[in-house]
Amino acid sequence: MRSVSVIGIGETKMGKLADFWLRDMIKEAGEKAISDANIDRNQIEALYMGNFASQYLCLQGHMGPLASEVLNLGNIPTVRTEGACASGGLAFRQAYIAVAAGLYDIVLVGGAEKMTHQPTEVVTTGVAGAADYNLEVSIGATFPSIFAMLAQRYFYEYGDVREQMAMCAVQNHDNAMLNPDAQMQKRITVDQVKAGFPVAYPLTVYDCSLVTDGSAFVVLAATDVAEKLSKKRIVEIVGSGHAGDTLTIATKKSLTTLYATVHAAKQAYQMSGLKPSDIDLAEVHDCFTITQILNIEDLGFFEKGKGGRAVMEGKTAASGQIPINVSGGLKAKGHPIGATGLSQIYEIVTQLRGEAGARQLKKANIGLTHNLGGTAATCVVNIFRGR
């Protein structure tokens, strides 16, 4: 399989985009990515679209041809991928495989989700489809309740990290202050998080990611093609991994080590020949604050049980040894579900190109993305290096 690189990126602002329907978001983010790649749209050979909940929230399936029509891509093949909150990461993974295989030279990958037009209870029901309806949702489990159980088990096995979870939210909000695309732009404190409206113990509303409208796109090209086309720094995919786990929480081997992450990360590290300490920055899937702590441990940045302490010591802050979610993450940039995996890549490429403006990190040559679906039942990890 041959080398593949990212040559174009685009995203909408994240948030409550009242005047933007799916078509409008896709058009804005898709056109930005095509323009950024410095290609003609006729050069695009296939389209991969991540979307999770639009069949329920918008009565709209078949997102591939919808996006192809909006972006005027003709008769190219399209596919929508769905793996809950990892739907965008899966679109990227399938596109990567097809280009690496030599089937296509240039492909477009996008994600979009429209969520804020629905009442909270409808969003909650739609999102709960990422768990098992019969065995979990129908008996009252929702995602906050499931991740609250993971947090409680973590407390039991490794000690209470309530304060450290809150600090994840604080740092992500701090980071989002410098990201113009972020949904949240206000600082919060650890005390505010802990005293927030209770959702499912120990999670308060400040421990939960956001309900977001948004879209993000990237253009992939075979690296040899990219070198001829691109006028910007080429960002090569040097590692890619994809793993899964059972759907239900009752059947997991562990509630505090998420094996889908462990396996996907192992693949990506092996392929790249890199180790966790080689990574300059990472965007990880902080659907809840406890997940961010689990993620930075499962990705090998910190030992199991030590992630919370690392957060408190500032090691994951923008100025720390391994900046996590400098975009603001799902918690503060926002979580437009099917677009999230692509928006993570948008941030890494922006940083690796040195185009991140006020939030630009000094050292940004190797970046990692981690996109998780459901109760860690789907995980895609990618490692990128600027050439």
Cβ-based neighbours of 216, under 8 Å, separated by 6 or more? 9, 10, 11, 12, 29, 88, 110, 111, 336, 339, 340, 342, 343, 345, 346
Residue 380's DSSP bridge partners are 242, 371
Query: CA–CA separation, 33 vs 163, rounded Å?
Result: 39
Residue 102: both structure tokens together? 């030599």
The answer to whether residue 276 forms part of the interface with a second copy (CB under 8 A) is: no
The answer to whether residue 34 forms part of the interface with a second copy (CB under 8 A) is: no
Measured on CA atoms in the order 331, 374, 30, 26, is the torsion positive or negative? negative
Judged by CB, which is closer to a second copy: 57, or 170? 57
Choose, from 242, 335, 370, 379, the residue flagged as catalytic: 335
Binding mask of the shown chain, residues 228 to 267, with x at each position contacting a second copy by CB under 8 A = --------------xxxxxxx--x-------xx--xx---
Could you tell me if 340 and 292 are in contact, meaning their C-beta atoms sit under 8 angstroms apart? no
Q: Is 335 a catalytic residue?
A: yes
Judged by CB, which is closer to a second copy: 210, or 260? 260
Out of 32, 80, 333, 370, point to the residue binding a second copy (CB under 8 A): 80
User: DSSP string spanning 319-368?
Assistant: TSSS-B-TT-HHHHT---HHHHHHHHHHHHHHHHHT--GGG--S--SEEE
The answer to whether residue 117 forms part of the interface with a second copy (CB under 8 A) is: no
The answer to whether residue 112 forms part of the interface with a second copy (CB under 8 A) is: no
Binding mask of the shown chain, residues 347 to 386, with x at each position contacting a second copy by CB under 8 A = --------------------------xx--xx--------
The answer to whether residue 98 forms part of the interface with a second copy (CB under 8 A) is: yes
Out of 13, 16, 41, 56, point to the residue binding a second copy (CB under 8 A): 56
Query: CA–CA separation, 339 vs 337, rounded Å?
Result: 5
Judged by CB, which is closer to a second copy: 38, or 270? 270
Helices 289-298 and 259-272: crossing angle, nearest 10°? 40
Query: CA–CA separation, 219 vs 200, rounded Å?
Result: 39
Cβ-based neighbours of 344, under 8 Å, separated by 6 or more? 88, 89, 283, 285, 327, 369, 370, 371
Choose, from 58, 85, 208, 379, the residue flagged as catalytic: 85
Q: Is 168 a catalytic residue?
A: no
The answer to whether residue 201 forms part of the interface with a second copy (CB under 8 A) is: no
Out of 14, 44, 130, 366, point to the residue binding a second copy (CB under 8 A): 130
Closest of 144, 207, 161, 146 to residue 304, by C-alpha: 161
Min. distance of Cβ 365 from a second copy in angstroms?
27
The answer to whether residue 120 forms part of the interface with a second copy (CB under 8 A) is: no
The answer to whether residue 123 forms part of the interface with a second copy (CB under 8 A) is: no
Span of 35-43, 65-73, 202-210, 326-334 interacting with a second copy by CB under 8 A: 65-73
- Residues acting as catalytic residues: 85, 335
Q: Which residues in this chain contact a second copy in the complex, by CB under 8 A?
A: 1, 21, 23, 46-47, 52-53, 55-56, 58-66, 68-69, 75-84, 90, 93-94, 97-98, 100-103, 125-126, 128-134, 137, 242-248, 251, 259-260, 263-264, 373-374, 377-378
